[in-house]
Amino acid sequence: MNRGSRAGPDMVRRNPARWLVAMAGALMLAMAPAMAQEHNHATGTASSQANTAQPVATPADGTSAATAPAVSYHNATIFTLKTGIAGGRMVYIGVGGDIDGQTNPTLMVHEGELVQINLINGEGAEHDVVIDQYPARSSIVVGVNASSTFSFVATKVGEFAYFCSIAGHREAGMEGLIHVMPGPREDMDTDAADIVHDPADLPGPIGQRPPQVVKVELETVELKGRLDDGTSYVYWTFNKKVPGPFVRVRVGDTVEVHIRNASDSVMPHSVDFHAATGPGGGADFTQIAPGEEAVVTFQALKPGIYVYHCATPSVAHHITSGMYGLILVEPEGGLPQVDREFYVMQGELYTVEPFGTQGEMEMDYDKLISEKAEYFLFNGSVGALTKSHPLYATAGETVRIFFGVGGPNYTSSFHVIGEIFDHVYSLGSVLSPPLAGVQTVTVPPGGATIVDFKIDRGGHYVLVDHALSRAERGLAGYLIVDGPKDDEIMHSGPAGSLGK
């Protein structure tokens, strides 16, 4: 099945300013009420701490310390077409993904998808793109490399023509087909595993208790996981998820880490805790071959939120493939109480194939060391926090997000569209007073932060890296909030019009 690149990588690199404008338009489309079904999830789907899985970090004695929206912001299926001449005819040429280099490629999409088409002028004549039987068209582009982008929702099933409406151009060869198939794309997925760590799956607060020995169980597992609809990647993981388990201890605890490398692994693995003081953060004691086990113990000396990751060469290769997570060392007495907590990490993938290509992806080492990422991801995959595991809350609640960057290379400008952080624990420090009233927080690779905010009204809030071109490479999430969506805080219409 042919499928366009969801990124338009050449366009992003050449025209970042245009792409930021395009992203704003795509955001407005994706968040429009007419384009999304009402969310209806069963009781218990929300991320209350009472419903989380068993804590990963447990005392050494063994005691324990829904449906996504129909249209999602990141999830536009993006095709890039460049005008050109082929065989003496005027044509569109596919750029990136499965349509790369194809003349007048057939664009395959699924019913209900948000579709974005990017047009690049390749030879300097006037051109546009019009979708037959859809109210969708680009602007006219004239100069070489001039570009336009437009979006629409594929509400009609069938085959429809796309063409240039400039007089004579369609007849000269500028025409292709867009095929809208019935049903969602995920129905055609491969057998790849779900490697996404549910952001609501983290152990609850420790609070007041004396220091103790806490045992942490880690298993390094290599498995084929779902990267995107119809796309897979062989991830290297801690406990079969990306990120690995959220580890929660308190300052003064003794942390006893048991790490086992699965017998069917190909690579040796290890773990380096940024919360640990000692050689390699524990990595010097945990370099283990497939089938081996190791134990390392360290003291949690300083409170804060810290990254852990594999530290086996090539370290960047192990990290990019999914081997990272967070450990929270609570201060004595714990953090201020909130209603809900979530666990989110950002990472990149460097694949041989362009973003949006279907099939099994392979890692490209040259792209890795050149820092030319194809994918930017929250919790390991495209759609992880929109389709698979959105964050859920209720208006009036306080929310805390533990956010980290596995990387291995890119700094994040973490932002929640439609919210302002009440408190930010800058660089993961809980010893310094938190910042107040912050819009966007910078988090370096191998770094982490904690953000708290109260949700004052219902609606869809979007998690992004405010380097917004990365949203077109997979990086976005939803915070879906039940509650009033039209009030004095924000409502449609002029001031004083509420309820009229």
Determine which of 64-78, 213-227, 252-266 has the lowest per-residue pLDDT on average: 64-78
Q: Which of 24-28, 82-86, 406-410, 441-445 has the lowest mean pLDDT?
A: 24-28
Global pTM value: 0.71
The answer to the question of whether 415 is labelled as a binding residue is no
Is 274 labelled a binding residue? yes
Query: Over the stretch 107-161, which tens digit does the pLDDT of each residue have?
Result: 999 888 889 999 999 999 999 999 988 889 999 999 999 999 999 998 887 788 9
CA–CA gap between residue 137 and residue 130 (Å, rounded): 4
Distances (CA, A) of 154 to 24, 71, 433: 20, 10, 49
| Dist CA 287 CA 436 (whole Å) | 41
Q: What is the mean pLDDT of the chain?
A: 85
**Distance of alpha carbon 176 from alpha carbon 160, whole angstroms:** 8
Confidence band for 488, pLDDT divided at 50, 70 and 90: confident
CA dihedral (7, 11, 12, 17) positive or negative? negative
For residue 21, what are the contacts with CB-CB under 8 A and spacing of at least 6?
none
Q: Which amino acid is at 318?
A: H
Pick the more confident residue, 258 or 18: 258
Asked whether residue 384 carries a pLDDT value surpassing 90, the answer given is: yes
Mean per-residue pLDDT, 302-308: 98
Tell me: pLDDT of 196 over 90: yes
Q: Tell me if 35 is assigned to a ligand binding site.
A: no
Stretch 85-111: mean pLDDT: 92
Average pLDDT of the segment spanning 407-431:
97
Least confident of 36-45, 103-112, 366-375: 36-45
Per-residue pLDDT, 55 = 37
pLDDT over 90 (residue 391): yes
- Is 110 annotated in a binding site? The answer is no
**Which of 155-164, 272-281, 321-330 shows the lowest mean pLDDT across its residues?**
155-164
Report whether pLDDT(10) > 70.
no
- Domains of the chain in start order, with CATH, are 73-187 (2.60.40.420), 190-489 (2.60.40.420)
Q: Decide if 235 contacts 380 (C-beta within 8 A).
A: yes
The reply to whether 164 sits in an annotated binding site is no
Confidence of residue 495 (pLDDT cuts 50, 70, 90): confident
Return the minimum-mean-pLDDT range out of 112-116, 261-265, 399-403. 112-116
74 has binding-site annotation: no
Q: Are 173 and 102 within 8 A, CB to CB?
A: no
pLDDT in the model for residue 156: 84
> Looking at the predicted structure, is the pLDDT value of residue 14 above 70?
no
- 93: β partners: 82, 103
d(CA 3, CA 113): 13
State residue 187's pLDDT score. 58
The total number of residues shown for the chain amounts to 500
Ranking 55-59, 205-209, 342-346, 391-395 by mean pLDDT, the lowest is: 55-59
pLDDT (tens digit, 9 = 90+) per residue, 454-474? 999 999 999 999 999 999 899
423-428: average pLDDT: 96
